[in-house]
Amino acid sequence: MQLISKRVTMTPIQRLNPAHRPIPPALRLVVGLALLVVLGTLLLMLPISASGPPLTWNEALFTATSALSVTGLSIITPVTALSTFGQVVLLLLIQIGGVGFMVVAVVILRLLGRKVSLVDRLTLSDSLGLLVPGAIISITRRMLVTVVLIEGVGALALFLHWQRDPRLSVEQAAFFALFHAVSSFCNAGFDLFTGTPGFPEGIPRDNLSLIILGSLIFIGGLGIPVITDLLIYYRERRLSLHTRITLIVVTFLVISGMVGFFVAERRVDVGALRDEPLSRQLLITLFQSVSARTAGFAGIADFSDLTPPSQLLMITLMFIGCPPASMGGGITTGTFAILTISLWGFARGLPTPQFGGRSLATGTARRAAAVLTISLFVVLLATWLILITHKGVTMDAAVFEVVSAFATCGLTLNFTSQLNLFGQMVIILVMFWGRLGALTIIIALAQPGRPQLISYPEEQILIG
């Protein structure tokens, strides 16, 4: 290191002719979602989709992106602005954006070589990183059957509960049950109660509704790899490392969130839950904690009532988000786990990050650092762009809105409606990014590296 090392220059290598390259799977995912957004926008702009005047292009684009990215931020009130046809379109967009995308993501993840141990097993451990077409169909069918069963049970439970509500007709109760079961399971956060005359405070917050909706949100938020891993646990008696870590992290996040909200919101002077009995405080904080990371249903009526410590907690939970290949966004619980494990291992002086008797694969920490870095960058840039173009907006509200879009969460401090056209476009892009996830976008947009035939000498730099 003291000597001046000779510089090694890279040998330029003839690039492959781009015309002959197959479209990489990650790029297909990006293009596929973009095409769906265009299709959804066009459908929502049809006069038949609106109950009054047709949606403008930006309203339709915002709503379609929000539905397909299962975010739930909205510049319209769905139940009043959309006809029943429009509401069905919205429901389908949520289902496609949630379930369809999750299934495709699992299949494509496999193609990208990021191994899902469950999928491995389902596909008889294909070791070449390529799925047999038959296996794709088989996995997809299993996943869809699982999803339909869960949503069906949830919708039935909601219907049985809501059809007793005098404010809803039986048809309404049935459609609302279906819509909200899908919206909950897909963690979409869209609801049809806000704007319905009998429900001035949005979704029903009675205990049973919160329990059913919360369960659907929780299951959807676990992600397909974890759900299927759990479903076959009785046979295999073994959970993959991914499932174990996901369950630990999710439990930790839900409990932290619950405790945090509980401490902040039951304070007698300022808390939003100060007037509720203890059992309701517990249930609502649990629901809010489950819902906060991505679902976007509000457990308390007016989110602007939330105290500042809860706003900060919410932003943190949203930013961490859900497991990969789930309904949620954020940096993902996987990245969070890797960063924590890596930090712990570093502090203990371990040669590699380790957890539960396993070393993490080489490069995992580097990948997690990349995800965190680019995510911080995207959130900060989007927030700055909104702040510089909107007057009278506090940093709080803007950060909350952007992180909510980034995590495809959909909670808001009542700021979405104040966005100007430029702000709407920024939020649309962030939602789009949030649904795809940092890794997919990096891989899709990055120019494929040329094979490197030389290696550079190492040098240290200080990092403080």
Contacting a second copy within 347-386 (CB under 8 A) = 347-354, 357-362, 364-374, 380, 383-384
Name residues whose C-beta falls within 8 Å of residue 199's C-beta, 6 or more positions apart in sequence.
Answer: 167, 193
108 vs 327, beta carbon nearer K ion: 327
Least CB distance to a second copy at residue 359 (A):
4
For K ion, the binding residue among 40, 72, 271, 437 (CB under 5 A) is 72
Q: Indicate which of a second copy, K ion, none lies near residue 72 (CB less than 5 to 8 Å, by partner kind).
A: K ion
The residue range among 25-33, 75-83, 112-120, 172-180 that interacts with a second copy, by the rule CB under 8 A, is 112-120
For a second copy, the binding residue among 335, 404, 408, 424 (CB under 8 A) is 335
Q: Are 338 and 372 in contact (CB under 8 A)?
A: no
Q: Indicate which of K ion, a second copy, none lies near residue 296 (CB less than 5 to 8 Å, by partner kind).
A: K ion
Beta bridge partners of 50: 82
Least CB distance to a second copy at residue 155 (A):
28
53 vs 357, beta carbon nearer a second copy: 357
Distance separating alpha carbons of residues 137 and 143, to the nearest angstrom: 10
Q: Are 438 and 374 in contact (CB under 8 A)?
A: yes
Distance separating alpha carbons of residues 5 and 217, to the nearest angstrom: 57
219 vs 443, beta carbon nearer a second copy: 443
147 vs 443, beta carbon nearer K ion: 147
Binding track over 155-184 against a second copy, x by CB under 8 A: ------------------------------
72 vs 154, beta carbon nearer K ion: 72
Backbone CA torsion sign across 264, 269, 272, 278: positive
- Residue list 174-193, contact with K ion (CB under 5 A): 187, 189
Least CB distance to a second copy at residue 316 (A):
6
Q: Is 296 in the site for K ion (CB under 5 A)?
A: yes
Least CB distance to a second copy at residue 447 (A):
7
How many positions of this chain bind a second copy (CB under 8 A)? 104
Backbone CA torsion sign across 222, 224, 229, 235: positive
DSSP string, 67-126: HHTT----SS-HHHHB-HHHHHHHHHHHHIIIIIHHHHHHHHHHHTT---HHHHHHTT--
Q: Are 329 and 294 in contact (CB under 8 A)?
A: yes
N- to C-terminal Cα distance for the chain?
A: 20
Q: Is 308 in the site for a second copy (CB under 8 A)?
A: yes
Q: Is 410 in the site for K ion (CB under 5 A)?
A: yes
- Residue list 221-260, contact with a second copy (CB under 8 A): 225, 238, 240-242, 245, 260
- Taking the CA atoms of the chain, what radius of gyration do you get in angstroms? 23
Name residues whose C-beta falls within 8 Å of residue 417's C-beta, 6 or more positions apart in sequence.
Answer: 75
Q: Are 75 and 416 in contact (CB under 8 A)?
A: yes
Distance separating alpha carbons of residues 338 and 232, to the nearest angstrom: 25
Distance separating alpha carbons of residues 338 and 364, to the nearest angstrom: 7
158 vs 409, beta carbon nearer K ion: 409
- Residue list 387-416, contact with a second copy (CB under 8 A): 387-388, 391, 393-396, 398-399
Q: Indicate which of a second copy, K ion, none lies near residue 40 (CB less than 5 to 8 Å, by partner kind).
A: none
In the block, residue with structure tokens 């109760």: 173
114 vs 161, beta carbon nearer a second copy: 114
Residue type, 180: H
209 vs 240, beta carbon nearer a second copy: 240
Q: Indicate which of a second copy, K ion, none lies near residue 417 (CB less than 5 to 8 Å, by partner kind).
A: none
Q: Is 28 in the site for a second copy (CB under 8 A)?
A: no
Distance separating alpha carbons of residues 294 and 442, to the nearest angstrom: 22
For a second copy, the binding residue among 80, 125, 207, 417 (CB under 8 A) is 125
Binding track over 256-275 against a second copy, x by CB under 8 A: ----x--xx----xx-----
Q: Is 463 in the site for a second copy (CB under 8 A)?
A: yes
Distance separating alpha carbons of residues 78 and 193, to the nearest angstrom: 9
Q: Are 93 and 77 in contact (CB under 8 A)?
A: no
Least CB distance to a second copy at residue 366 (A):
5
Residue 355: strand, helix, or coil: strand
Q: Is 438 in the site for a second copy (CB under 8 A)?
A: yes
87 vs 408, beta carbon nearer K ion: 408
How many CA atoms does the CB half-sphere of 238 hold within 13 Å?
A: 6
Q: At residue 306, what are phi and psi to the nearest 5 degrees?
A: -55, 135
Which residues make up the interface to K ion (CB under 5 A)? 72, 187, 189, 296, 409-410
